[in-house]
């Protein structure tokens, strides 16, 4: 449902601060939940997609997502 809502956004109609909460942010949050639930394959797919769509200037988010991917890979024994 969140993906559909993001797709339905019309540029210029949202407040400026909401731009932080993009598809990559949603993917990261979804991956965080999936890691906690032990659903590592799904978490890894979401976090990889999030990293692939992030701008290189989002260094902090890239670091967090990379750490989340590493945590999931280690927890699933896929090192």
Q: How far apart are CA 19 and CA 66, in angstroms?
A: 21
pLDDT score, position 5? 81
User: What is the pLDDT, as a whole number, of residue 25?
Assistant: 87
pLDDT for residue 62:
93
Residue 45: name the closest of 59, 31, 55 by CA: 31
pTM above 0.95, yes or no: no
Q: How many residues does the chain have?
A: 79
**What residues in the chain have per-residue pLDDT under 70?**
none
Dist CA 43 CA 61 (whole Å): 16
Q: What pLDDT was estimated at residue 15?
A: 75
16, 17, 19, 20: CA torsion to nearest 10: 160
Q: Which pLDDT value is given to residue 6?
A: 76
């Amino acid at each position: 449902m969140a993906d559909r809502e993001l797709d339905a956004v019309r540029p210029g109609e949202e407040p400026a601060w909401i731009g932080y909460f993009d598809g990559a942010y949603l993917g990261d949050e979804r991956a965080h939940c999936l890691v906690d639930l032990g659903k590592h394959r799904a978490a890894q797919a979401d976090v990889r997609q999030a990293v692939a769509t992030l701008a290189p200037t989002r260094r902090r988010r890239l670091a967090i997502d990379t750490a989340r991917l590493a945590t999931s890979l280690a927890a699933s024994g896929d090192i």
